[in-house]
Amino acid sequence: MTAKTFQQTSQSPRRLYYGHIIVVATFIIMCVAFGLYIVYGIFFNPLRDEFGWSRAVTSGAYSLSSVFSGVLGIVMGILTDKFGPRLVVMSSGIILGLGYYLMSQVNSVWQFYLFFGVIVGTGMSGVWVPLLSTVARWFNQSRSMMTGVTVSGLTVGQIIGPPVISRLIERYDWRDTYTMLAVAVSVIVVLAALLLKRKPEGVEEPVSARQEKRPFRDNTPARDYTLGEASRMLQFWLTAVVFFCFGFVAYGLTVHLVPHLTQLGINDIEAANVLAVSGGIGIIGNFLLGGIVGDRIGNRKAFILGILLVFIGLVILLPSRELGMFYIYAILFGLGIGAMGTSESPLVSRLFGLKHHGLIYGMMGMGFTAGGAAGPVIIGYMGDLAESYQPAFVVCLVLSLIALVVMVIIKPVQKDGPGL
């Protein structure tokens, strides 16, 4: 078989396109790695009960892990650009397993911050950017939709994680539960990562006749920008501001939602179910709003839609005291976070290209990292001071409004460039 014949075969819509296997693998990894990571709030009360730590101290390890994840995510983006995703993600799975096992042995604050903040944070650094950067390279016409499928793995994990983990903690204890998580995350992530590989030259996403007729916006910018060129553009910094607000609200509310609900008298299982509903509805946000809708109307508009939904959800959350209202909040919040999470990577690729996508996305993701680090600890500290989460939730509402205004004023990189 000649190279030309192989290329034509690879591009045939009747053949399995390897990019779809990539999406399956990234979905599984997201489901396990992020699905377990974002249910940290389930362990919040057990840790405080055993050690007597404040909300701020208990939140701090999660914030530290966010810092390590974001800072090292830049390095992981560079390594993915250079060597491909397989080795990067496999190594991350092993580190995550080690971190969760060590969490089962924790007996002091410094161990807590080292094991979760540093080691788990380091493991998570090799998940988000490498996976989404890899998917962005394998797809063009359906990039947002396939990114949505990948990110929905996170939300599927959030559906399964809270009720399962809360029951495991109830039946066994939080230490044994962390041991189980260690085994699950290391085995599943490493095995799924074996399927990952960089996109070969000359192999393109097959496009059906139906796709060719659709009025998709072009997902490829006029040219690829280097990090230096991108960092001199206003769009780079405005988007980083939005990512900061996104990280603050997303991580802050995810960590403190269950403690907030239990403080209002809702039992642990019901509070975990609210968090699970937020994750479940997030699948619709990932796949439909951020994915299919993002491919049709543009990633910036899909991101704006997501911010609006989160803003409305926060307006409902602030005065709520009844369980039913918290479920309404969870639906709106899940839809909004899902739309924004899916839109991130395609938005960066559309603004600055694919050649240096891992590095640029990793650098811009520092905005999300800073917000994700600040959100949990600031909300926890404010909760300690006021003995209520209400003032902190007002801060989240204001940050959502800032993100909305900034994203509305962001314009394309160049006048004759692609639409957003």
Max mean pLDDT range (31-40, 164-173, 399-408): 399-408
Compute the Cα dihedral for 341, 342, 347, 349 and give only its sign: positive
Q: What is the mean pLDDT of residues 295-310?
A: 84
Residue 202 pLDDT level (bands cut at 50, 70, 90): low
Query: Phi and psi (nearest 5°) for 160?
Result: -75, -40
Inform me whether the pLDDT recorded for 4 exceeds 60: no
Q: Buried b / exposed e across 292-325, counting CB within 10 Å, b at 16+?
A: bbbbebbbbbbbbbbbbbbbbbbebbeebeebee
Lowest mean pLDDT segment, chosen from 137-146, 210-219, 337-346: 210-219
Q: What is the pLDDT of residue 281?
A: 80
- Identify the pLDDT of residue 115: 93
Sequence-ordered list of residues with C-beta below 8 angstroms from that of 108, at least 6 positions apart, any chain: none
- Amino acid 401: pLDDT: 93
Q: Which of 300, 314, 275, 282 lies closest to 399 in space, CA to CA?
A: 314
pLDDT band at 210 (very low <50, low <70, confident <90, very high): very low
Q: How many residues does the chain have?
A: 420
Token look-up 């730590």 returns 53
Least Cα distance to 292 among 342, 239, 350 occurs for 342
Q: Which of 10-24, 111-125, 242-256, 313-327 has the lowest mean pLDDT?
A: 10-24
Q: Residue 201, Cβ neighbours under 10 Å: how many?
A: 6
Structure tokens at 84: 């491909």
Give pLDDT, residue 13: 46
Mean pLDDT of the chain: 81
What was the pLDDT predicted at 223? 65
- The closest of 182, 179, 177 to 166, measured between CA atoms, is 177
Average pLDDT over residues 99-111: 92
pLDDT computed for residue 207 by the predictor: 59
In this predicted model, which residue has the larger pLDDT, 370 or 308? Answer: 308
Domains of the chain in start order, with CATH, are 16-197+217-409 (1.20.1250.20)
